[in-house]
Amino acid sequence: MEIQRSTPYGILIILITVLFSCSYYQHKEDAETIRTDSLLSIYIDSIAVNPLKVVSILRDNQRNVSDSLNYYYLQQTISRCYYFGNRIDSAFLLTDEILRYIEKQPEMNNRLRKLSGDTYNSRGVFFQEMNQWDSAIVCLHNASEALLQANVQNRLPAIHTYINMADSYQHKGDYGWAGFYYRKALFLSDSIGMGDKMNYSIYSGLAKLYLELENYPLSDSYFKKAEQYWDKGNEYEQYYFANSRGNYYYVTKEYDDALIWFQRANTIVADFSQPIYRSIVEGNIGEIYLLKEQPDSARLYLERSVASFGQTVLQQPGTKFYIDGLFASLALQENNLQEAARLLEQPYDTLHTDLLYQYYHHKRLEELYRKKKDYAKAYNYRKKADLCGDSIRNMKTENSIRETDFRYRQDTILLKKNISITRAEAKAYQWKWIAWIVGLGFIVVVLLMVCVVFYFRRKKELRYKQQKETIIQLRMAVVRNRIAPHYIFNVLNSVMPIFRRYEELSEPVNLLIDVLRGDLLSSEQLAVSLEKEISFVRKYLKLKMLGDSNSIRVEWCISADVSLDTLIPSMFIQIPVENAVKYAFNADCQTPIIFIGIEVKDEELHIKIKDNGIGYNFGAHVGDERSTGQGLKILYRTTELLNTHNIRKMKFSIQNQQSSLREDHGTCVSLIVPLNYNFAL
């Protein structure tokens, strides 16, 4: 069989086929990723309004997703739907599952980092919902770090993370860091041209921040900036703005304007599946009616607020304290002093109660005891209210100073960046010369690489030539070994009619002809089927032991799961068996046995030829007239040659089993061929 060298055109066709296959699978993966991202972008604005419907759609799509990463992207959005559907525990469980999946990945790519950032961001929002601000900040910092490392063009998740971080710090009362992250979000939004989409939320947050710092002119200016983007915000962002604007007018005591914005917010949240938003807004409306001294309307909205909150939320100390305070104010307006006293004189935890709520609590107690004409207690609660008021003012002053300091530092950083840009432009011309030098260096490196490629190509050609010469030598050796059998085969065919007259000679001669024919065919083929190799070996053994069938016992053990169509190198069973028959047994061997075992293990064909003879001694039969010395060389060189064309290697080995134990001796020849092994050269 002649081995032909692959032409450049053949190599090109193989490369194109491989690249096409890779690009097909890559295209399939990319198409699924694009489809997943498109689906999420379509339903992102519907999560807060109709979360259960979005969950149903995403679950249906999860069943058709083959890539695990896309599956967990959908899972992350489902966790947000559970949050908006008031299933916070389920939302936490899903984020736990996603983070465990990310931790198990051997390496992080940009898409995994983005998933990590989005998941930590959602988890931070869940902690915000539970008023666990420190845990929320930790998660949001993790989200920020992951999104910073993810080299993605879409910077919207990073902006959302900064906004959520600012909101967490604001709820903690750390207004300096709150302002820092709001401005960081604003800078990033403006720098990537996302102002129309993101500035609505950022300006609303800054307006609320300065409202709490009692900087009303600055707060009002940010509210007016945010209101310009009203039509560009989703329903949740519109609710947040309307409720915050109502709080602004509440604080500035413009109650009619506050009522307008709270009613507007109430209209927006009417379709929200999460009742807590409706509870908050209706509680605010009830408080405005209290301040407008309209107790009937106040009671209506306060009772609706309580019904929307539900018993689970009302059991939380902060919420209960807030609602009880509003009903106490209502009782004071209605001169129901007994009900007011019942609500106000309940014990509460000062450590977990907002200082502003404590201030209002003491003011209501002052009013209660003034109406009861217990002026001593009224005066006592007035002093407590003044102390709370002083603490609130001091805290706001301190945070206002801190926020101003942060703002100044951010402005200074921006100024330094502008100076750096100007200096960089001044040095641009100097870098042109460096660019020319680098370009020339690059050309030199490319030329060197071309030379290296040609060198290795030439080296490969020489190696190929050496392999071809080795194959020719092996073929010549085989031809020399087969000349005599070929001649005998032709002679026997010509005299076969004479032998047929003698019945006792017919079978041995036919058997000899079959063996010679198989021997010649095997020598001309690089690989044969397992069935042909076994058939040839059986005929050889039958011919060899024709005179004395009990001289050597042959045991075959072929597993049922072995396919006889499996290809193996030709003569790889024949030569070891032939060597065992010739050299393995001496006169001292009482029960000579040759064992031939064939089985499939771990996607590999395992062949073992064992005997209980004198053992293997390399070079012991060099002077033996029966030995040509080429059989094992052919097997070893054939194995080496074929392995150069396969990733999974074939293994051929000979082991001497001789040991100190009398029954443990002989030779074991082992051949392991991976299934689907390539025998083409």
Q: What is the pLDDT of residues 45-86, one digit of tens each?
A: 777 778 888 888 888 888 888 888 888 888 888 888 888 777
Q: Which amino acid is present at 115? A: L
Instruction: Work out the angle at residue 107's Cα, subtended by the Cα atoms of residues 106 and 112, and round it to the nearest 5 degrees.
Output: 115
Which range has highest mean pLDDT (21-35, 172-186, 612-626)? 172-186
Considering only 240-249, 312-321, 374-383, which range has the smallest mean pLDDT? 312-321
Higher pLDDT among residues 623 and 232, named by residue: 232
Long-range contacts from 473-476, C-beta under 8 angstroms, 24+ separation: 474/633, 474/634, 474/637, 474/638
Long-range contacts from 336-340, C-beta under 8 angstroms, 24+ separation: 337/368, 337/371, 337/372, 340/364, 340/368
- 1, two tokens: 């069989």
The pLDDT tens digits for 187-214 are 888 887 766 667 888 888 888 888 888 8
Q: Find residue 669's DSSP bridge partners.
A: 609, 654
pLDDT > 70: percent of the chain:
76
Considering only 401-410, 464-473, 524-533, 661-670, which range has the smallest mean pLDDT? 401-410
Q: Work out whether the CA dihedral 382, 383, 385, 390 comes out positive or negative.
A: positive
Considering only 503-512, 521-530, 664-673, which range has the smallest mean pLDDT? 503-512
| Pairwise CA distance, residues 362 & 359, whole Å | 5
Domain boundaries defined on the chain: 514-619+627-674
Q: What is the mean pLDDT of residues 502-514?
A: 64
Instruction: Work out the angle at residue 79's Cα, subtended by the Cα atoms of residues 78 and 84, and round it to the nearest 5 degrees.
Output: 95
Minimal CA–CA distance to 680: which of 647, 633, 646?
646
Number of alpha carbons in the 13 Å side-chain half-sphere of residue 306 = 16
The pLDDT tens digits for 139-170 are 999 988 888 887 766 677 888 888 899 989 98
The pLDDT tens digits for 395-449 are 777 766 766 665 666 555 554 555 455 555 556 667 878 888 888 888 999 999 9
What pLDDT, on the 0 to 100 scale, is given for residue 319? 74
Mean pLDDT value across the chain: 79
User: Which residues lie closer than 8 Å to 582 by C-beta, 6 or more apart?
Assistant: 626, 627
Cβ contact 202:187 at 8 Å: no
What pLDDT, on the 0 to 100 scale, is given for residue 285? 92
The pLDDT tens digits for 346-401 are 887 766 677 777 888 888 888 888 888 888 888 888 888 888 888 877 777 776 67
Burial 45-84 (b: 16+ CB within 10 A, else e): ebbbbbbeebbebbeeebeebeeebbbbbbbbbbbbbbbb
pLDDT at residue 638 greater than cutoff 80:
yes
| Pairwise CA distance, residues 154 & 189, whole Å | 11
Which range has highest mean pLDDT (283-292, 406-415, 485-494)? 283-292
Q: Which residue has the tokens 């689970």?
A: 312
Q: Spell out the alpha helix ranges (H) of 500-565.
A: 503-524, 530-544
Put simply, whether the predicted model's pTM sits higher than 0.75 gets the answer: no
Cβ contact 340:331 at 8 Å: yes
| Pairwise CA distance, residues 499 & 114, whole Å | 85
What are the DSSP calls for 461-491, one per residue? HHHHHHHHHHHHHHHHHHHHHHHHHHHHHHH
Q: Which amino acid is present at 366? A: E
What pLDDT, on the 0 to 100 scale, is given for residue 138? 92
Q: How is domain 514-619+627-674 classified at the CATH fold level?
A: Heat Shock Protein 90 (3.30.565)
Q: Crossing angle, helix 51-62 and helix 68-84, to 10 degrees? A: 160
- What share of residues in the chain are helix, strand, coil (percent, to 5)? 70, 5, 20
Instruction: Work out the angle at residue 115's Cα, subtended by the Cα atoms of residues 109 and 120, and round it to the nearest 5 degrees.
Output: 125
pLDDT at residue 8 greater than cutoff 60:
no
What pLDDT, on the 0 to 100 scale, is given for residue 24? 44
Radius of gyration of the chain (CA): 44
| Pairwise CA distance, residues 227 & 199, whole Å | 10
β 604-611/667-674 pair status? antiparallel
The gap between the terminal CA atoms of the chain, to the nearest Å, is 10
Q: Find residue 677's DSSP bridge partners.
A: none
Strand order in the sheet with 667-674: 553-558, 593-601, 604-611, 667-674, 651-656
What pLDDT, on the 0 to 100 scale, is given for residue 522? 59
| Pairwise CA distance, residues 320 & 171, whole Å | 18
Which range has highest mean pLDDT (277-281, 347-351, 565-569)? 565-569
What pLDDT, on the 0 to 100 scale, is given for residue 93? 92
